[in-house]
Amino acid sequence: MKKISIGLLGLGTVGSGVVTILTNHQDKLMHQVGCPIELKKVVVQDLHKERSVEVDQSLLTKNVDEVINDPEIDVVIEVMGGVEETRKYILAALRNKKHVVTANKDLMALYGSELLLEASENGCDLFYEASVAGGIPILRSLVDGLASDRITKMMGIVNGTTNFILTKMSKDKRAYEDVLAEAQHLGYAESDPTADVEGLDAARKMTILATLGFSMNIDLQDVRTQGITTITEEDLDYSKRLGYTMKLIGIAHRDGEKVEVSVQPTLLSENHPLAAVNDEYNAVYVCGEAVGETMFYGPGAGGLPTATAVMSDLVGVMKNMRLGVNGLSAVSPQYEKKLKLDSERYSKYFLRIHVQDQVGAFAKITTIFSEHGVSFEKILQLPLNKSNVAEIVIVTHRASLKDYEEILGQLESLEVVKQVKSSYRVEGDEMQ
């Protein structure tokens, strides 16, 4: 091969990082793949915008067709974002026999199966390492490094924005709104942070992880999702007092043939490796039947870390081109999707409730738990400044989600319960 020509869709933070690595690491890339890499065209929205990287003006275009339909372009790198329109571009590129590298988690979570099938049918590679956890090579590790193992559980901090917010709220005792504003100022959070703080971004990433880790077609709607917007200073204080750290955790768990996938605020035991992952960093904790416990840690976002994952995929495409095996690496899911019922999803739970401070109130509460066979592991009971109101904090032993939700419903209607203040999953006391 004399050279490889690249078409780049998008020149934002990640796109600029790709250009930087292509420019500064050309000797390393040539050593890896045996030929030069040429950036032939870059699609942008504004041709005259001032940018952090220097790109020859003749390479810029607003017309995507100049990349998709250029017969000399071998690989399309997509870092422009978006879903529906971007899907059409990638499908067109694959049908034109162009290999594709993308960092687009939203696209892959929704249309990954369709796009991978299209790539395979056209003898093309479609790689997407950068779509989950930025610079952490977690997807490649699942597909290649742990290919012979059977993954039983993946727990991940896969959204840097929410981890930054919860770290600052917990360590500095700052209000949610204050930390969110700082995260937006630093560029960790978008002006509309909904996708991050409501758990949607993490849910898309867990969809991708679960599909690969369990070799099963998991859809976004299969992921039970809850965000961080209702977490209070009191919740964080009680977490610490009980020996836990609050994190937004994505969990994918397999028991036999059945799986569960969720994203939710979770109290992690302070001795769990994920509990020490702070600020904007990401980590994915993976358990396999053979390998046991492993953890992948690193920057979950940012131009150069994410661009590093993009370029790693590009090198993979180019090595496949030299070997003539493009389009052959994708493996169809091995197993039929089987989701756990709520009666099969087990966890410990943290519960904080306000009750009437009167004789017999606690007995009525414990009766509801005992009727469902759920016992207590930890209990705190404190009087509040309000007259005749006490606060009870409970950590349960393992209970099914079905039983626990029934308990919550009965507590809400119990006369002595003034309010169920908060409820969260608890993980990490027994790592598995």
> For position 431, what pLDDT does the model report?
46
Residues 408-421 pLDDT 10s? 999 999 999 999 99
Residues 287-334 pLDDT 10s? 999 999 999 998 877 788 889 999 999 999 999 998 889 888 777 788
- Known catalytic residue: 340? no
Which of 205, 247, 348, 418 does the annotation list as catalytic?
205
Q: Which amino acid, 150? A: R
Kindly state the percentage of the chain with pLDDT values over 70: 99
Is the per-residue pLDDT at 343 higher than 50?
Answer: yes
Q: What is the pTM for the complete model shown?
A: 0.91
Residues 127-165 pLDDT 10s? 999 999 888 889 989 988 898 999 999 999 999 999 999
> For position 430, what pLDDT does the model report?
58
> For position 384, what pLDDT does the model report?
79
> For position 336, what pLDDT does the model report?
94
State the chain's mean pLDDT as an integer: 93
**pLDDT range class, residue 31, cuts 50, 70, 90:** confident
Average pLDDT over residues 361-386: 91
Is the per-residue pLDDT at 35 higher than 90?
Answer: no
Residues 95-139 pLDDT 10s? 999 999 999 999 999 999 999 999 999 999 999 999 998 888 899
> For position 432, what pLDDT does the model report?
41
> For position 39, what pLDDT does the model report?
95
Contacts of the segment 257-260: beta carbons below 8 A, 24+ positions apart: 257/335, 257/338, 258/338, 258/339, 258/340, 258/344, 259/210, 259/214, 259/216, 259/218, 259/337, 259/338, 259/339, 259/340, 260/224, 260/339, 260/340, 260/344, 260/345
**pLDDT range class, residue 1, cuts 50, 70, 90:** low
> For position 17, what pLDDT does the model report?
93
Average pLDDT over residues 252-256: 96
Q: For residue 155, give both structure tokens.
A: 């727990």
Taken in order 193, 196, 197, 199, the sign of the CA dihedral is positive
Is the per-residue pLDDT at 407 higher than 60?
Answer: yes
Q: Is 336 exposed, middle or buried (0-12, 13-18, 19+ CB in 10 A)?
A: exposed
How far is the C-alpha of 204 from the C-alpha of 426, rounded, in Å? 22
**pLDDT range class, residue 358, cuts 50, 70, 90:** confident
Domains of the chain: 4-133+303-323 (3.40.50.720), 138-299 (3.30.360.10), 343-427 (3.30.70.260)
